[in-house]
Amino acid sequence: MGLQELLSTYGDMYVQALLVTWRMTAIAFAGAMLLALLVTVARVSPIKPLRKLGDLYVQIFRNIPGVSLLIICVYALPHLKVVLDYGVCVILTTTLVASAFGSENFMSGINTIGVGQVEAARSLGLSFGQILRQVVIPQALRSAVLPMTNLLIAVMLTTALGSQVPLDPPELTGLVSYINTRSVGGILAFFISAIGYAGTAFAIGIVGNQIDKRVRILR
Amino acid sequence: MSNEAQGMRPIIELSHVEKHFGKLHVLKDINLSVQKGEVVVLIGPSGSGKSTLCRTINRLETIDSGSIRIDGELLPEEGKELAKLRSEVGMVFQSFNLFAHKTILQNVTMGPIEVLHTPKAQAEAEAMELLRRVGVAEQANKVPAQLSGGQQQRVAIARSLAMHPKAMLFDEPTSALDPEMINEVLDVMVELAQEGMTMVVVTHEMRFARSVANRVVFMADGTIIEQGDPDEFFDNPQSNRAKEFLNSIKGH
């Protein structure tokens, strides 16, 4: 099957698959950022059990392969009477893994803030919550832009987990399996999907760099 | 001063304060009271506990036993009460510790807006006035990294003053500065002292101590070895430790 035939037969499906990949990436990344922020706040809180819980969360979801989590979500959760849609399982899995890495990015952002600034805020009479909102989180966010850009790309690639479950319509990698079970797309079918991933990643990288330049903190 | 003696009351009062860092006994039975309007300079070799002592006064360091009172009130251990008391005691650090992501103006207005709930416009007007006073009003819209060390430290002083503190703590405020910038910071501090601010200053600046301190407190090995009038202390120290220390910093 040549490129032209592939595109004329499956072109619309590729576009649709790209949109599915983008949508899952956007949802998973947004969820991951929110979770990562909450977990990070727990990890720097003055309450020790909460800190330990946050650390444990990161250890668990950073160290379990995405596929295993997906299998748990698809096959194990129904035993607990939790039946989630395949697409939801993929997004959930990606979100959990990415939130663990995201929290690590925030933590290293926080570590760049001198303890002195926190002490200065404390000596002005700010509460723990105010110090987080005014001093710690804004700086951690800004210095996390580049690592989070990387994470966003990783999230997009992780949504390829969607190829392991029946999705309708499929995402980019799932579409390749779909095509290759029906006709002989071969390596070319993969290649077109790869262009979708690489092009998106390239654009994400450029935007990430621009944002970083704009918000970077002078030191 | 003597006319005010009857109205005098301690703004800061430490009694029998003890503190350990692990096995190291860093503060040993510290008793110190600072009167309203008084300028006390803490001096001593490094590791003597003077910075730690300064930091216990707004509880950036906890203490093992003893008591600390600010304006008669026992220093609370945590929570809202502690935050409120901290807001009444200004602190200036060796390394300035300005908020790196905020402009100079925002650095000064943050405390009043967040803690005192001052309306933004009023906080900004007050902040500009303070920045003018310390001579950095032109830099109001820059970020800290664009300022020299001396300018940053003056901003830090303005940031503390914006809270209308009852007393100010200075923890080696000029030690991180290039020599040519030390005086611009000391000048601001001298002015503050002359206006009657209650100050506790950890410093090695002898000239500053002589010209504005009401009292010099000499510490070594976690204890207050001697204290007294600055001229008397520098010209005629009583203890051997103080003599040794003064000799070691003289002579260049």
For the domain that residue A204 is a member of, what is the CATH number?
Answer: 1.10.3720.10
Q: Which domains does chain B have, with CATH numbers?
A: 37-58+80-249 (3.40.50.300)
User: Structurally, how many domains does chain A consist of?
Assistant: 1
d(CA A6, CA A14): 10
Q: What pLDDT is attached to residue A218? A: 81
As to burial, measured by CB atoms within 10 angstroms (0-12 exposed, 13-18 middle, 19+ buried), residue A8 is exposed
Residue A173 resides in a domain: yes
Q: In sequence order, which residues have a C-beta less than 8 Å from that of residue A183 and are 6 or more positions away?
A: A1, A9
- Could you tell me what percent of chain A has a pLDDT over 90? 77
Residue-averaged pLDDT of chain B: 92
Please write the tens of the pLDDT for every residue from B186-232.
Answer: 999 999 999 999 999 999 888 899 989 999 999 999 999 999 999 99
Q: Residues B41, B213: contact at Cβ < 8 Å?
A: yes
Residue-averaged pLDDT of chain A: 93
For B199, which DSSP code? E
The DSSP string of B2-36 is GGGGGG--EEEEEEEEEEEETTEEEEEEEEEEEET
Helix (H, G, I), strand (E, B) or coil at B90: strand
Residue A124 resides in a domain: yes
Residue A9 resides in a domain: yes
Is B146 in the A-facing interface, judged by CB distances under 8 Å? yes
Residue of A120, A125, A218 with shortest CB distance to B97: A120
Residue A138 resides in a domain: yes
Residue in chain B lying closest to A121 (CA): B111
Q: In the A/B pair of chains, how many CB contacts fall below 8 A?
A: 80
Q: What pLDDT is attached to residue B125? A: 97
What is the phi-psi region of residue B247: left when phi exceeds 0, alpha when psi lies from -120 to 50, beta otherwise?
A: alpha
Query: At how many degrees (to 10) do helices A115-123 and B79-87 cross?
Result: 90
Is the CB of B95 less than 8 angstroms away from the CB of A114? yes
C-alpha distances in Å from residue B193, one per residue of A28, A119, A120, B225: 57, 24, 22, 25
Which residues in chain B have their CB less than 8 angstroms from residue A142's CB?
A: 101
- The alpha-carbon gap from A51 to the nearest alpha carbon of chain B, in Å, equals 19
- Residue B10's CB is within 10 A of a number of other CB atoms, namely 17
Per-residue pLDDT band for B3 (boundaries 50, 70, 90) equals very low
Residue A219 resides in a domain: no
pLDDT at A76 over 70: yes
What ipTM did this prediction achieve? 0.91
pLDDT at B13 over 50: yes
Is B43 in the A-facing interface, judged by CB distances under 8 Å? no
pLDDT at B250 over 80: no
- The alpha-carbon gap from B168 to the nearest alpha carbon of chain A, in Å, equals 11
Please write the tens of the pLDDT for every residue from B32-44.
Answer: 999 999 999 999 9
Instruction: List the domain range (segments joined by +) for residue A76.
Output: 3-214
Is the CB of B100 less than 8 angstroms away from the CB of A123? no
Q: What pLDDT is attached to residue B24? A: 92
Global pTM value: 0.83
Please write the tens of the pLDDT for every residue from A109-136.
Answer: 998 888 999 999 999 999 989 999 999 9
